[in-house]
Amino acid sequence: MKDTRYWIFYCNPEYYPIDDFLNSGEIKLTWGTHSSQRKLFNIGDKGIIRVGLDRRTKERLKGKQKLESGIYAIVQIISIPDYIPDSDSENCSPRLSPEENKLRVWIKILKNLFVSPILIKDLKKIYETNQDEALIKGIRLNSFNLSKTAFNKIDEICDLRLAKSENR
């Protein structure tokens, strides 16, 4: 894994209801990561929250709609990874018992795309993003490197969507 300074934070809504968080108005949360990545994260690095397949049942959804696979936020890393007990971090996924520590990094939501996410099916059609296999197909990790080219294109699309929604 190379150090790109850009990250994909993978979200499985079955374990972490990112929709509830993004609707809450909160902007800081922690994200679990792997010890092999500990030295790769830097304060100021940027990233995205990528939601995969939403397999929540109607009971778990409680009247909400399932999320489509896509990008739901642009984020910035605001801490180096550290072992944080679950009781000190309400926003982690999957949930751990209060006694357990997990390596986590604090991130801050810079741009919330919940109302208008950038869908994976659309990113597959864009050259700058469809080249990044970890972005398009996803992987079974909490976080992974994202290419600078893909991040910049996503950020550009995000700015266009946010400007459009402000003009309504």
The domain segmentation of the chain, as residue ranges, is: 6-166
Q: What is the pLDDT of residue 95?
A: 46
- DSSP line for 91-119: T-SS---TT-EEEEEEEEEEEE-TTS-EE
- CA dist 105 and 154 (Å) reads 22
Residues 6+ apart with CB under 8 A from 122: 70
Q: What are phi and psi of 144, to 5 degrees?
A: -160, 155
- Residues of the chain with confidence (pLDDT) below 70: 1-4, 86-100, 168
Phi/psi at 107 (5° precision): -130, 155
Q: Which helix H or strand E contains 11, and what residues bound it?
A: strand 6-11
Q: What is the predicted pLDDT for the residue at 49?
A: 97
Query: pTM value?
Result: 0.89
- For 6-166, CATH number out of 3.10.590.10, 3.40.50.300, 3.20.20.150, 3.30.70.260 equals 3.10.590.10
Q: Residue 117: its pLDDT value, please?
A: 95
- In terms of Cα–Cα distance, which of 54, 47, 46 is closest to 20? 54
Measuring CA to CA, which residue among 8, 79, 94 is closest to residue 41? 79
Interval 18-29: pLDDT, tens: 999 999 999 999
133-143: pLDDT as tens digits: 999 999 888 89
